Amino acid sequence: MNKASNHKLIVTIVNKGMARKVVRASKQAGAEGGTVLFGKGSGIHEQVFFLGIHIEPERELILTLVPDEKLESVLTAVKKAGELDRPGKGIGFVLDSKKVAGVYHLLHSYS
């Protein structure tokens, strides 16, 4: 049930509380949705200490699968919504998707 893919995976990591805004912007730009995961981590621009203890900030990771033709518009929307052009706000990158499975509407045509 694998199908060759013309899709890209946009991976976006943002500060806690920003995922909803990023997913909403990506859907308005043509994405069908996204998957949000939660984690902790810090970059070079964050040094958070509380009572002398280093605290790792909470993060939200958004996975968005989009067709090649929608990549640029969705990525632009994600960068803007996540404020990725500002230090410490997050990071985004794109991965090739060679095959997909489990996404019914991508695997079957409705003739």
CATH, residue 34: 3.30.70.120
Q: What is the pLDDT of residues 21-46, one digit of tens each?
A: 999 999 999 999 899 999 877 665 55
Q: What is the mean pLDDT of the chain?
A: 84
Domain count, the chain: 1
Domain range for 21: 3-107
Q: Give dist(CA 6, CA 71) in Å, integer.
A: 11
Phi, psi of 93 (to 5 degrees): -155, 165
pTM for this predicted structure = 0.80
Query: Six-digit token pair at 13?
Result: 């990591």
Instruction: Work out the average pLDDT over 62-91.
Output: 94
pLDDT band at residue 111 under the 50/70/90 scheme: very low
